[in-house]
Structure 1
């Protein structure tokens, strides 16, 4: 998945992207996003993928993991909408995307709520939060199928 644009023009350009706070444990995710990469942890024992915030493998209980670049593609499992915070602002869709590698990732969605449907193919994009860091969001994939 390397080579994706490190800053994507949002489908919803009027949207102000909320910042996701950089912490010591989230630093690798932010660094990868700056390179246009979505990363996951992969268990060194059983090779199962897990989200960066997960410290122990759900399959085997092993803690050690390698960082790997994910495909950035997945399927929309479910979604909802945060009501607009300010009068005249757009509602903010969010959802769960099942990544091709297996984990389900919570994410903001860069799409109009009327365009979303469960089972849709999604792809990662990177947007700049209010604090200046890039972070991953998902949008509807350009092609039908992964």
Structure 2
């Protein structure tokens, strides 16, 4: 039996994360600052889209409304990354996440505070928010204990 400590998945330290905000993405980031997860939905055909875009990829409408989501997600795909430039001990689990209350939308984020070997496709996760530069909060996901 090994007594080696298990390294938990983390995210890049917040002081190293910068985001670009524009008129199409600002509602997403403002909601995150309030610890809310939202997704843009076409006001005409109801298609959800992430990342936010200036027009709907289905019907090309520019009309959009922002829907507040539950914060629950399912791991669709993931990778395990050992090391990051200048941070060789960092272990990341970037994941593509299905958002059940925004059908068709997927979000790329990090799964954190879990042993990378425990992450599985189909795993239920829930949003949390991690501080980054300029006062913003980055959505990250933790194992959902309410399955």
Q: Deviations over 1:85-118 (max 9, x none)?
A: 2455221110100101120111122133122000
CA root-mean-square deviation: 2.3
Query: TM (normalized to structure 1)?
Result: 0.78
Query: TM (normalized to structure 2)?
Result: 0.78
Q: Out of 123-132 and 28-37, give the one that drifted further.
A: 123-132
Cα distance in 1, alignment partners of residues 60 and 12 from structure 2? 40
The 5 A counterparts of 1:52-67 are 52-67=51-66
Say if 1:19 and 1:131, in contact at 8 Å, map to a contact too: no
Q: Deviations over 1:32-56 (max 9, x none)?
A: 1111101111111111221252232
Cα distance in 2, alignment partners of residues 87 and 126 from structure 1? 21
Mark the structure with the bigger radius of gyration: 2
The 5 A counterparts of 1:81-100 are 81-85=80-84, 86=86, 89-100=89-100
Aligned pair 1:33/2:32, yes or no?
yes
Aligned pair 1:127/2:124, yes or no?
no
Corresponding residue SS for 1:89? strand
Cα distance in 1, alignment partners of residues 95 and 126 from structure 2? 13
Say if 2:80 and 2:94, in contact at 8 Å, map to a contact too: yes
Cα distance in 1, alignment partners of residues 115 and 76 from structure 2? 16
Cα distance in 2, alignment partners of residues 124 and 81 from structure 1? 19
Between the two proteins, the alignment pairs up a number of residues equal to 134
Unaligned residue ranges in structure 2 (runs of 5+) = 1-7
Unaligned residue ranges in structure 1 (runs of 5+) = 1-10
Q: How much has 1:13 moved relative to structure 2?
A: 7.0
Larger helix percent:
2
Cα distance in 1, alignment partners of residues 10 and 44 from structure 2? 43
Q: How much has 1:60 moved relative to structure 2?
A: 2.3
Corresponding residue SS for 1:63? coil
**Match in the other structure for 1:109:** 111
